[in-house]
Amino acid sequence: MDNISIREAGLDDLSALAQLEQECFQSDHLSKRSFRRHILAAHSDLLVAEKKCDAGSLQILGYGLSLRQKGTRLARLYSLAVHPDARGSGIAKNLLNSLEKTVVQNGRLYMRLEVAKNNRAAIRLYELCGYRIFGEYSDYYEDHSDALRMQKTIRKVEPSYFNRFTPWYQQTTEFTCGPAALMMAMTSLNESLRCEQELELDIWREATTIFMTSGHGGCHPLGLALAAARRSFDSCVWLNTDQPLFIDGVRAENKKKVMTVVHNQFVEQCALNDIAIAYQDVTQYQVESWLSQGYAVLMLISTFRLDGKKAPHWVVITGMDAMCLYVHDPDLDEKRQLALDAQHIPIAREDFDRMSTFGSSRLRTAVAIKAR
């Protein structure tokens, strides 16, 4: 639709917004008082789509309202409305894009929203705009209908921004995030290597801790460094402890003994293979230094802030800027994500320090590798 502009809402728009709200929704209306509060609020962003009519007058045909959640990197799309006569003209998409740009400028990385489960047109619009379903609310609306929860990573960086191309690989088992991350790191340094399941499982057998809190063991940072060394990469490991890893969540004494033996073996093998181990905290400055020197960097994180689970998880860092670190995550929820959603995921620098510790011992570790 021609002659449409998008701008911030002002107090002069209150009557038009209230009228538009009545024309767009049958229930759950925002009042004029609510619109006024959002216009004045520091953490609300309210944009309107305005049409210039032939007579020179202006008509508001749509609005978008997002809320920036305090203390997080999340924004929430609170409401999106387009006049019934103007639907299908691209106004909703333009409003949504403009809101995303606005909240990114205000430091947010992700946008979330709720949409009625039976509103197929709106769900389709959000999916086309890159939103993915991650949950559901029952009896959410005034009419007792259910709502789907959707999310999108709104801070995107073009692949050309990164100094080195890092291919993305999806782990094929729930316990091989370490091998998957290492393969991504190695292939970013040596294009002749291929990410494939056979190599993934080989590395797991070489680097596994044998046991974990439950299920198969994950991968030890020293084991991953040794696996990289066997494939002609120089590697170094930073650890903020010299004690055996991951045993604080394991109850069975026999499992703890096995994991301790494995840890000590890895330490001895690293010494024999001249793999440097620095027993000190991993800082963002050090990660940045590694990347600038041409290293590929794997880091262990806690997934609690990503999926609510307290599990150790390996990712590969693909780049950094003044605001974020970017990671490839090998773990993909195929029901709710596309492969693109797991690539160059932005993690705010302030959040990364909290995410990169695991367990009651607050383990922090990283593996840096470089082609020989």
Measure the CA–CA gap between 6 and 29, rounded to whole angstroms: 22
The residue assigned the tokens 């109850």 is 251
Strand order in the sheet with 324-328: 276-279, 233-239, 365-371, 296-302, 312-320, 324-328, 345-348
What count of Cα atoms within 13 Å lies in the side-chain half-sphere of residue 279?
6
CB contact at 8 A, 327 and 316: yes
Q: What is the CA radius of gyration of the chain?
A: 25
Measure the CA–CA gap between 341 and 275, rounded to whole angstroms: 34
Alpha carbon of 230 to those of 57, 124, 179, 202: distances in Å?
73, 48, 14, 12
SS3 206: helix
Measure the CA–CA gap between 218 and 363, rounded to whole angstroms: 14
Measure the CA–CA gap between 57 and 229, rounded to whole angstroms: 71
Strands 58-68 vs 74-82: parallel, antiparallel or unpaired: antiparallel
Measure the CA–CA gap between 113 and 95, rounded to whole angstroms: 14
SS3 81: strand
| CA 7 to chain CA centroid, nearest Å | 29
Note the pLDDT of residue 309. Answer: 64
Count CB neighbours of 158 within 10 A: 7
Strands (E), the chain: 4-8, 44-52, 58-68, 74-82, 110-116, 132-137, 147-153, 233-239, 276-279, 296-302, 312-320, 324-328, 345-348, 365-371
The residue assigned the tokens 């055996």 is 244
CB contact at 8 A, 111 and 154: yes
In order along its 372 residues, the chain shows pLDDT tens digits of 568 899 999 999 999 999 999 999 877 789 999 999 999 999 999 999 999 877 667 889 999 999 997 767 889 999 999 999 999 899 999 999 999 999 999 989 999 999 999 999 999 999 999 999 988 888 888 888 899 999 999 987 766 677 789 999 999 999 999 999 999 999 999 999 999 999 999 999 999 998 866 667 789 999 999 999 999 999 999 999 999 998 877 778 888 899 999 999 999 999 999 999 999 999 999 999 999 999 999 999 987 656 666 678 999 999 998 888 999 999 988 777 778 788 888 888 888 888 888 877 899 999 999 999
CB contact at 8 A, 73 and 110: yes
> Hey, what domains does the chain have and what are their CATH numbers?
4-153 (3.40.630.30), 159-371 (3.90.70.10)
Measure the CA–CA gap between 246 and 264, rounded to whole angstroms: 13
Phi, psi of 116 (to 5 degrees): -60, 135
Measure the CA–CA gap between 236 and 225, rounded to whole angstroms: 7
Residues with Cβ within 8 Å of 264's Cβ and at least 6 positions away in sequence, in order, are 244
**pTM of the predicted structure, to 2 decimals:** 0.78
CB contact at 8 A, 124 and 36: no
Residues with Cβ within 8 Å of 270's Cβ and at least 6 positions away in sequence, in order, are 222, 225, 226, 237, 277
Note the pLDDT of residue 214. Answer: 64
Q: Which amino acid, 342?
A: A
Measure the CA–CA gap between 42 and 150, rounded to whole angstroms: 24
Note the pLDDT of residue 2. Answer: 67
